[in-house]
Amino acid sequence: MKHFIKCLIAALGLAVTAAALAQAYPNRPIRIILGFGAGTSTDMVARIYSEKLSQRLGQPVLVESKLGAGGSVATQFVATSPADGYTFLQGSNGSHGINVSFYTKLNYDPVKDFEPVAQLAQVPFVLVVRNDLPAKTFAEFIALARAKPNTISMGSTATASQLTGILLGQMSGVQFNRVPYKAPSPAIVDLLAGRLDAMFDTPPSLGPHIKAGAMRAIAVTSQQRTALMPDVPTVAESGIPGFESVGKQWLFAPAGTPKAIVEKISAELGAILNAPDVKELILSRGVEVATTTPARHTEMVKEEIEKWKKLFRDANMKPID
């Protein structure tokens, strides 16, 4: 009985300490570290919610970029920062999923070195084809590619869109003629000119050309239809169940950050991002709000790691130094 009472007192003490910590926090500026620069969707989302978060917390919330190695420089910086609730990482399924397989060595562990705080947003890819390609739908596109292996040219641009094309080939059993580009713009030029058959990129990048009727959107890569292009079906509903490849934006804290702080920031962000005006503002910039719990966030990180490991293994792709 005495032991039980001691344990109860200790538990109550911890609860009081956690509550006091959350109540006193924050008492100085908070930093949000990004792996991508001004003008990117990551930067845009961060600046929208950071302003609202600053208003709610009564302290400045500063957005700072640390560029390099596909977000790894920023990620490593936060992994080694004090776990005091004043430094966070706006990471992604690139920094915490793809990079595990893309690089031979990471100077951080995406699971052990971080406390997942919140999912923030996501950006799906859209599959577009040149206007004079005979295929009018995704099913027709796959049938055409299957009938003519290695002849349908698929533009490969940034890492994520390139991997999306490889994933589509793996899950559909279709062999595309992958054409590498250093950036999306030259691929778009070739698609518009009829020199390229298809490519993946984001709605903000391709949307104006689609609306102008210069190319056709035949599928999006999110699990459900996106509010960015509600009339375009998903790859999953068009014949490849389970297909998903979207850019996911997540907030992380260094491992060991007090649970009370993680829960406080998670709750504040949930309230901010699910406000109708914020959702509408972010959607107008070509990004969808997507929120979840810290527990589900942890599961998603592990799922992304295994998903891209499998893709690299099945495609016999080698990591880079």
Task: Give the CATH number of the domain where residue 56 resides.
Answer: 3.40.190.150
Determine the pLDDT at residue 16. Answer: 46
231 assigned to some structural domain: no
With H, G, I as helix, E, B as strand and everything else as coil, classify residue 257: coil
Determine the pLDDT at residue 248. Answer: 94
9 assigned to some structural domain: no
User: Quick count: other Cβ atoms within 10 Å of Cβ 220?
Assistant: 28
Residues 88, 133: one domain?
no
Inter-residue contact 215 to 206 (CB < 8 Å): yes
Q: Of 220, 254, 271, which one is at a domain's C-terminal end?
A: 220
**Burial category of 107 from C-beta neighbours within 10 Å (exposed 0-12, middle 13-18, buried 19 and up):** middle
Residues 35, 176: one domain?
no
Record the pTM: 0.87
164 assigned to some structural domain: yes
226 assigned to some structural domain: no
Residues 271, 293: one domain?
yes
Determine the pLDDT at residue 149. Answer: 93
Give me the number of domains the chain comprises: 2
Residues 103, 157: one domain?
no
273 assigned to some structural domain: yes
Inter-residue contact 129 to 216 (CB < 8 Å): yes
Inter-residue contact 108 to 177 (CB < 8 Å): no
104 assigned to some structural domain: yes
**Burial category of 274 from C-beta neighbours within 10 Å (exposed 0-12, middle 13-18, buried 19 and up):** exposed
Residues 262, 275: one domain?
yes
Residues 98, 58: one domain?
yes
Determine the pLDDT at residue 151. Answer: 96
Inter-residue contact 261 to 115 (CB < 8 Å): no
Residues 158, 291: one domain?
no
Helix (H) or strand (E) holding 217: strand 215-220
Residues 105, 179: one domain?
no
Residues 78, 164: one domain?
no
Average pLDDT for runs of 10 along the chain of length 321: 51 50 85 91 95 98 92 95 98 93 92 96 96 96 96 90 94 95 94 97 94 98 95 97 95 98 96 97 94 89 95 92 78
Per-residue tokens: 282: 């972010």
User: Quick count: other Cβ atoms within 10 Å of Cβ 182?
Assistant: 9
Task: Give the CATH number of the domain where residue 196 resides.
Answer: 3.40.190.10
Determine the pLDDT at residue 9. Answer: 52
Write out the residue range of the structural domain in which residue 194 sits: 126-220
Rounded to whole angstroms, how far apart are CA atoms 37 and 73? 13
16 assigned to some structural domain: no
Residues 43, 84: one domain?
yes
What Å distances lie between residue 128 and 86, 141, 226, CA to CA?
42, 10, 15
Residues 35, 103: one domain?
yes
278 assigned to some structural domain: yes
Residues 131, 80: one domain?
no
pLDDT digits (tens, 9 = 90+) for 196-234: 999 999 998 999 999 999 999 999 999 999 999 999 999
Determine the pLDDT at residue 15. Answer: 45
Rounded to whole angstroms, how far apart are CA atoms 102 and 125? 20
